[in-house]
Amino acid sequence: MHVSPDSTTHNGAALDAGKYFGTPAVARSAGAVMLTLSDYAPAFTVPAHAHTRPYFCYVSAGGFREVGIGGSYVASRGTLVFHPATETHSDEFGVSGGRCFNIEISDDLGLAREPGVIRGRAVRYAAELYREMRAWDAASAVVAEGLTRALVARVGFDLDVERERRPARRASIDLSRAVERLRADPCNPPSLATLAHDAGLDALAFARSFRKQYGCGVGAFVRAERVEMAKRALAESASTVSAIAAELGFADQAHLTRVFRDATGWTPAAFRRAMVA
C-alpha cells in the first residue's frame, strides 16, 4: 500500500501490516508471510518511521542510504536488510530510485535480531522468494512460506525459543499423511501450517523434519510432483504446452518451461518430441 510522505504515519509512528512508502507494484500473502513490491522514484526521501511487524527488505533494483538504530549504511541491488518491529529508520534513494521486495512476517515467529544488513546464504533465500513472487502460481504460497521459514532459520532468529517450542525428540516422525496430501493434489497443496498441524508439529519443526527425510523443502517437493504430472501429460496427451501449464496451475507456458527445464534439462516441447520419436 502506498503511503505519501506527508502522511500522519511518519515521524516514528509504526505503519500497519503491508503498508510501505513508495508506489505499490505487487502484493501476495502466504500464511504467516506477506510479500510486497514497492517502487521508489529517484531521490525519494522516506521520513523516519517504523512498522508494526518485523520484515526483510531485499533490494531488487536501485538503492538507498538508510539511517536507523542499526547504524547508517548503503543498500544497493542484492542487499538484504532486516527490520525488527517498531524499529525507527529513514531512507534516501539514489538518482536511479529503487525497487524493494519486502518479506513481512507475523509476530508469532518470535524474531529476535538486531536491525541491519544480512549476508550469506540467507540472501539466496530472499532472491528465490523474489523470483517466486514474480512467477506466482497455485503452488507459490506453500513454496513462499517454506522459503521464508528457511530464511528465518538460516539467520538464527530466537533459536532458544524455537527449541523450547519443539516437541520431545522422536525416533522417527511420520510424515506419510503430509506426503499423501501433497501427492493427491500438488496443484492445490495445503498450507505449511495445515500440514504441520496434521503432523503434530509447529511449522518450523515440520519444515526441518520434511527436508531431513525427503532431501528437499515442501515447495520443491510439490514442484517435482507437478513436473512429473507435466511429463505424463506431455507423453500421453495431445494437449498443447500452454493448456498443460494452465491445467497444472503454472502462471503461463513460459513459467512451466522454466520449471520443467530446471528440473529435467529439457524444454516441454523437446521432451514431448523425444517421447514420441
Residues 104 and 210 in one domain: no
| Within-domain flag for 194 | yes
Last-in-domain residue among 85, 101, 119? 119
Tally the domains of the chain. 2
Percent of the chain whose pLDDT exceeds 90: 36
| Within-domain flag for 18 | yes
* Predicted local confidence at residue 105, as pLDDT: 87
Percent of the chain whose pLDDT exceeds 70: 86
Residues 183 and 103 in one domain: no
Q: How confident is the model at residue 74 (pLDDT cuts 50, 70, 90)?
A: very high
| Within-domain flag for 125 | no
Residues 94 and 184 in one domain: no
Residues 11 and 72 in one domain: yes
Query: Residues 151-159: what's their mean pLDDT?
Result: 67
Query: Residues 141-157: what's their mean pLDDT?
Result: 81
Domain ranges, residue 233? 166-277
Residues 106 and 186 in one domain: no
| Within-domain flag for 159 | no
Residues 39 and 101 in one domain: yes
Give the domain CATH number at 114: 2.60.120.10
Last-in-domain residue among 101, 119, 137? 119
Q: What are the tens digits of pLDDT across the range 244-273?
A: 999 888 888 998 999 899 888 899 999 998
Only one residue has cell 536491525, namely 115
* Predicted local confidence at residue 110, as pLDDT: 58
pLDDT over threshold 70, residue 166: no
**Which residue did the predictor score with more confidence, 171 or 6?**
171
Residues 6 and 115 in one domain: yes
Half-sphere exposure at residue 199, Cβ-oriented, CA atoms within 13 angstroms: 30
| Within-domain flag for 211 | yes
Taking the C-alpha atoms of residue 234 and residue 94, their distance in angstroms, rounded to an integer, is 48
Residues 180 and 260 in one domain: yes
Q: What are the tens digits of pLDDT across the range 3-55?
A: 543 333 444 468 898 899 989 999 998 888 899 999 999 999 999 999 999 99
Residues 71 and 178 in one domain: no
Residues 171 and 112 in one domain: no
Residues 98 and 198 in one domain: no
* Predicted local confidence at residue 172, as pLDDT: 63
Taking the C-alpha atoms of residue 121 and residue 156, their distance in angstroms, rounded to an integer, is 12
Taking the C-alpha atoms of residue 126 and residue 109, their distance in angstroms, rounded to an integer, is 17
Q: Are 9 and 50 in contact (CB under 8 A)?
A: no
CA dihedral 77, 81, 83, 89 (to 10 degrees): -60
| Within-domain flag for 85 | yes
**Which residue did the predictor score with more confidence, 71 or 34?**
34
Residues 112 and 187 in one domain: no
Mean pLDDT of the chain: 84
| Within-domain flag for 148 | no
